[in-house]
């Protein structure tokens, strides 16, 4: 269920220039998302991030969605995310995001960091600094608290 909610909302808002909400009464999936912003200043990899908040059948999922702007040379594959010596609940993916033009796709999802209620409260105050570990050298990300605070409210689906 969590996987389906994240997958649907992740791809619906993959390259969202502005925040918004999604209400799909047919599926019971409701959610909101922030705009996508750069979260890494690595010289060879542009990483983008946006925050999602979804609810389906009473289960709520919040996550930071991390994507990479492909440089045409190689693709990043991340396995883990760490912050202050603590491993974060990171789920890797390599699906293409909505960044295709003229037959060339330049955006790929790297993964998501799931945000518990406690972690969400913390990142809304302090932001999130983390290190992504994968097949290439580690990449540091920095997500300002303002991105988490920018998450729009959405209405809950009516109970059946």
17-34 pLDDT tens trace: 567 777 777 777 888 889
- The pTM of the full predicted model, rounded to 2 decimals, is 0.79
How far apart (Å, rounded) are the C-alpha atoms in residues 21 and 23?
7
Tell me the per-residue pLDDT of 73-92, one tens digit each, with 9 for 90 and over: 667 889 999 999 999 999 99
Spatial neighbors of 58 by CB under 8 A, at least 6 apart, are none
For residue range 115-159, list pLDDT tens digits in order.
Answer: 999 999 999 999 999 999 998 789 999 999 999 999 876 544 444
Domain ranges of the chain: 2-149
């Amino acid at each position: 269920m969590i996987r389906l909610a994240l997958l649907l909302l992740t791809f619906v808002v993959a390259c969202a220039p502005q925040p918004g909400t999604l209400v799909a009464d047919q599926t019971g999936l409701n959610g909101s998302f922030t705009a996508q912003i750069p979260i890494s200043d690595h010289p060879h990899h542009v990483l983008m991030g946006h925050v999602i908040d979804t609810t389906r059948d009473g289960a709520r999922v919040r996550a930071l969605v991390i994507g990479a702007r492909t440089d045409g040379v190689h693709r990043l594959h991340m396995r883990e995310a760490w912050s202050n010596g603590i491993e974060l609940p990171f789920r890797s993916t390599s699906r293409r995001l909505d960044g295709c033009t003229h037959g060339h796709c330049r955006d790929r999802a790297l993964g998501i960091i799931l945000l518990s209620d406690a972690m969400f409260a913390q990142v809304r105050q302090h932001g999130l600094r983390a290190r992504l570990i994968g097949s290439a050298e580690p990449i540091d990300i920095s997500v300002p608290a303002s991105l988490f605070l920018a998450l729009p409210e959405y209405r809950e689906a009516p109970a059946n």
